[in-house]
Structure formats: C-alpha cells, structure tokens
C-alpha cells in the first residue's frame, strides 16, 4: 500500500479540502502517514493569499528533494496550483502533478497517472457535479469539531486579494445538503460545527429548498436557524463580509443558544481612503454601525477581525485611523497582515510605496495596541464561569486540557482525559493576552 504525506498551508477551507483529499485517498487504498520520511507520495495543499505562503511551498519541495534520495512523488494542490497551472512545472521541474482547488476530488487519478509513468499531470478543471463533501472519521482534524463548507469562492474582488482568482466565483451549496451533513455529524457525536466559506453571509443558494420553514431577511440567517434546529450543541461560522452583515444574523444568534457568540468580521483598515482603494464596499462608519449592533445585542458576542497594514498609499494619518478604529471596536482578537502584492490583482498595479521598515513599525505598533486592549478584555473574564468544549490535551503541559469557549477563546485547565469532547463549566482564575486559565466546575454534554 502506497503511503501519502499531506501538508496543508492556509485557511480553514484548505484544512477542510485536505480532510476530503485524505478521505478519498484512504478509500482508494492509500495509507495516510504523518511521517514524510516513510511516504511514497508527498502532497502540498497550498495557499496563495500572501507571497510568504507561496515561497514556503518552493522551500518545502526543495527540502523534500534534497533530504530523500528515494524518489518520492510530489503533488501540488490548491490555490497556488490553480493560479500557476502548467507554469508550476517550469518553476519547479521536480513537481509530478498539479491539481487545482476544484480538482482535488480527482487526487487518486492524478497519483495513479504518475505511478503509471505519466509525467507532469495537470488538472485545474471544475468540481464533479456529484462531489462528495463528507469526511471519514479517521481524517477529521478533530473528533468533536467539524468544518462544513457552505459557500465556495468569492465575487468581491477586493483589490489586494487573489482569492476570487484562486477559488473562482461564489457558489452556495444547497441548504438540504448542508442540513443533512450537520444532522449526520450530530448523530456521530460531533459537538461543534463551523460553517465555512470566504464570505459565509453572502450565502445565496439557487433555490430556497430546505429553508422554507425558517425566518430571516437573508438566506444566511435562515440557514443559521435551520442548522440551529438540528440540535447540534454548537455552531460557529466564519468568515463574515461586513457589507453583507445584517442585523438578522444577530437576531438569529440571540434566539438560538447553540449559535455561538462569536463573529469574525474583517475590517482591513480604519481609513475610508484605504477602504476605497481596497474596494471593500464598506466605509468605516458602516462598519462601526455593525459593531454597535453586535456590541449591544442581548448576548455578549465576541468580535475578531483581520487588518492589513502598509497597503499602497497608506499614510501615517491613515494608519492612525486604523489605531483609532481598533480602540473603538475593542476586538477580542485580531489578525494583522503586512500588505503583500499579488500578481494579477488590481492593487498589483499600485506602487507598493510603504517601505518595509514602515510596515514593520506599523505592524509592531498596531499589535501592541491590540495586545493592550485584548489584555483588558481577557482580564474581564476573571472569576466568571464560561462553557468550554474540551478539545485536546494542552501542548504546553501534558496534564492540562485545552478547549474553546462559545466566544472562541482558548481556555486551559487541569482535568482528566475523560473530559475530552465534553462541554464543561470552567471558572476563570487567570488571564493572559491570548489565553484564559481556570478550573472545572461542572460537566454538561
């Protein structure tokens, strides 16, 4: 039996794609291995959002070729594969096959072709109409948490972003399929599902089938209510697009205990000038209106975001607007990225005129501001009780367990492995900027 090692870069969608790639391979009699040394086939599921991620791919292929004298088959999957296509073979002639974002279901065919002697196999075609979105128990990234894709691709074309090119146009999965999927996971004992997509709240299925019985001003809020009705313990969703974020989403959260109190709403910048250049489709005032609604909702909803610093023409004044925005929003957590020009995007034509040094300085300053805010927010949890889904043994200490709250904060605590997969009440006794610590009070489910 041939052994396959699969390495994944990038977002949740890539992790989810990799779970299904491994599922297909296992069903076709390949053996998945976490050990690259013993593997016959090495696969990289790639990310192209920033240049750094793309470089990592070439470095890793170089390492594989240098380290092992035995010839391993190397396949490149995902976003870089989709964008580069055939040119990847010129960039790195030691690559054996290239499979685009929608061709991953045909991974075993690609490997078989190479094993039969065909060199440089390429498939950047469309997804099969009957593509199977399910994941084998053995290939899930967690026994208790499952990713459920609800929408693929992106139509927004923010000027800096490669995703609409690497993942194509938005395509929503039919609601009955999603609801069936969640019911199945619930029966299998999964406690938490993450509805995933580049912009989940742009969900627009071809028909309203499966959503007729659910209220909501948008298909997405109807879907949230429909998924909540499955009775699964926890539902999270990411990523939300600010322009499409309407109050009906907050209403659905307020009404359904199992819709978690966490919203990830990437703002990207605090400056209207930069937001316009990014073609985000929202002003900072629009964004603040949404934040005000979230912050004043019945449930305490935590808020996280993405920010890009050093976008072309970002002046010191624009950057100061981003600092003010961070203070206004009081994010529970924030991913900060230095702008990375991507070939093929409209912003690639703009002069990348914020120097490396300025980007570095702004990154440090923004990170520090966020750290201070976050420290205060995390401290406010002291002596409070939170419900945590126990996910794993802590990586820092074998006797500790680690899990997340409904508001998506990491909590560490002492407890026996019997608690894994359970939802427990934890009293918070200590806080740091990124982690809460506490002790177990009760176990629920």
**Part in contact with ligand SF4 (CB under 6 A); list of ranges 153-161, 227-235, 310-318, 410-418:** 153-161
Residues 157, 335, 399, 444: which binds ligand SF4 (CB under 6 A)?
157
Residue written as token pair 């199992």: 258
**DSSP structure class, residue 433:** S
* CB of 160 vs ligand SAM, minimal distance in Å: 4
Q: Interface with ligand SF4 includes 154 (CB under 6 A)?
A: yes
Which of ligand SF4, ligand SAM, none does residue 157 bind to, with CB < 5 to 8 Å depending on kind?
ligand SF4
* CB of 322 vs ligand SF4, minimal distance in Å: 16
Cβ proximity to ligand SF4, 202 vs 412, nearer residue? 202
Residues 164, 242, 310, 403: which binds ligand SF4 (CB under 6 A)?
164
For ligand SAM, the binding residues (CB under 6 A) are 11, 49-50, 160-161, 163, 198-199, 239, 241, 266, 268, 306, 308, 337, 339-340, 342
Residue 251: both structure tokens together: 């209403």
Q: Interface with ligand SF4 includes 163 (CB under 6 A)?
A: yes
Diameter of the chain measured on Cα atoms: 64
DSSP 318-369: HHHHHHHHHHHHT-SEEEEEE----TTSGGGGS---S-HHHHHHHHHHHHHH
Which of ligand SAM, ligand SF4, none does residue 342 bind to, with CB < 5 to 8 Å depending on kind?
ligand SAM
The phi-psi region of residue 268 (left if phi > 0; otherwise alpha if psi is between -120 and 50; otherwise beta) is left
- Displacement of CA 427 from its chain's centroid (Å): 29
* CB of 39 vs ligand SF4, minimal distance in Å: 32
* Separation CA 306–CA 29 (nearest Å): 40
- For ligand SAM, the nearest residue by Cβ is 266
Residue 150: count other Cβ atoms within 10 Å of its Cβ.
23
* Separation CA 280–CA 203 (nearest Å): 18
Residue 183: both structure tokens together: 């019911």
Around 265, how many Cα atoms within 13 Å sit in the side-chain half-sphere? 31
Between residue 238 and residue 277, which ones bind ligand SF4 under the rule CB under 6 A?
A: 241
Element at 195 (helix H, strand E): strand 192-196
**Part in contact with ligand SF4 (CB under 6 A); list of ranges 3-11, 155-163, 284-292, 425-433:** 155-163
| Size of interface with ligand SF4, in residues (CB under 6 A) | 10
**Part in contact with ligand SF4 (CB under 6 A); list of ranges 95-103, 149-157, 356-364, 381-389:** 149-157
* CB of 395 vs ligand SAM, minimal distance in Å: 25
Residues 199, 230, 238, 373: which binds ligand SF4 (CB under 6 A)?
199
Cβ proximity to ligand SAM, 89 vs 339, nearer residue? 339
Q: Which residues pair with 335 in a beta bridge?
A: 306
* Separation CA 250–CA 218 (nearest Å): 12
* CB of 160 vs ligand SF4, minimal distance in Å: 7
* Separation CA 221–CA 213 (nearest Å): 12
Residues 20, 106, 140, 156: which binds ligand SF4 (CB under 6 A)?
156
Alpha helices, DSSP H, located in 28-167: 51-67, 79-84, 87-91, 107-115, 163-167
Q: At 75, phi and psi to the nearest 5?
A: -120, 140
Q: Interface with ligand SF4 includes 158 (CB under 6 A)?
A: yes
Cβ proximity to ligand SF4, 50 vs 422, nearer residue? 50
Cβ proximity to ligand SAM, 270 vs 415, nearer residue? 270
Residue written as token pair 């961070």: 326
């Amino acid at each position: 039996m041939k052994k396959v090692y699969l390495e994944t870069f990038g977002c949740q969608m890539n992790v989810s794609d990799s779970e299904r790639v491994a599922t297909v391979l296992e069903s076709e009699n390949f053996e998945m291995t976490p050990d690259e040394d013993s593997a016959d086939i090495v696969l990289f599921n790639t990310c192209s959002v920033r240049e750094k991620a793309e470089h990592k791919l070439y470095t890793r292929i170089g390492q594989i070729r240098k380290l092992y004298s035995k010839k391993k088959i190397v396949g490149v999957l995902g976003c870089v594969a989709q964008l580069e296509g055939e040119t990847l073979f010129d960039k790195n002639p030691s690559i054996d096959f290239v499979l685009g974002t929608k061709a991953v279901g045909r991974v075993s065919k690609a490997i078989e072709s190479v094993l039969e002697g065909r060199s440089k196999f390429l498939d950047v075609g469309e997804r099969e109409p009957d593509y199977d979105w399910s994941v084998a128990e053995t290939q899930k990234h967690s026994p208790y948490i499952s990713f459920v894709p609800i929408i693929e691709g992106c139509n927004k074309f923010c000027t800096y972003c490669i995703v609409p090119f690497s993942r194509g146009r938005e395509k929503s999965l039919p609601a009955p399929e999603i609801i069936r999927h969640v019911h199945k996971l619930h029966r299998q004992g999964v406690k938490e599902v993450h509805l995933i997509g580049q912009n989940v709240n742009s969900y627009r299925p071809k028909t309203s089938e499966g959503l007729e019985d659910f209220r909501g001003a948008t298909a997405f809020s109807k879907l949230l209510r429909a998924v909540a009705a499955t009775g699964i313990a926890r539902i999270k969703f990411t990523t939300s697009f600010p322009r499409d974020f309407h109050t009906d989403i907050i209403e659905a959260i307020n009404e359904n205990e199992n819709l978690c109190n966490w919203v990830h709403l990437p703002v990207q910048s605090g400056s209207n000038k930069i937001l316009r250049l990014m073609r985000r489709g929202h002003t900072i005032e629009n964004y603040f209106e949404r934040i005000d609604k979230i912050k004043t909702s019945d449930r305490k909803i935590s808020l996280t975001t993405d920010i890009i610093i050093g976008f072309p023409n970002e002046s010191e004044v624009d950057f100061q607007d981003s600092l003010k925005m961070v203070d206004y929003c009081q994010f529970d957590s924030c991913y900060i990225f230095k702008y990375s020009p991507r070939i093929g995007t409209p912003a690639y034509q703009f002069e990348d005129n914020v120097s490396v040094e300025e980007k570095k300085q702004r990154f440090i300053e923004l990170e520090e501001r966020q750290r201070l805010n976050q420290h205060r927010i995390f401290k406010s949890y002291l002596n409070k009780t939170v419900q945590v889904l126990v996910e794993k043994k802590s990586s820092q200490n074998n006797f500790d367990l680690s899990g997340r709250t409904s508001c998506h904060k990491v909590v560490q605590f002492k407890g026996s492995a019997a608690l894994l997969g359970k939802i427990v009440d934890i009293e918070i006794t200590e806080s740091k900027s990124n982690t809460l610590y506490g002790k177990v009070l009760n176990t629920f489910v």
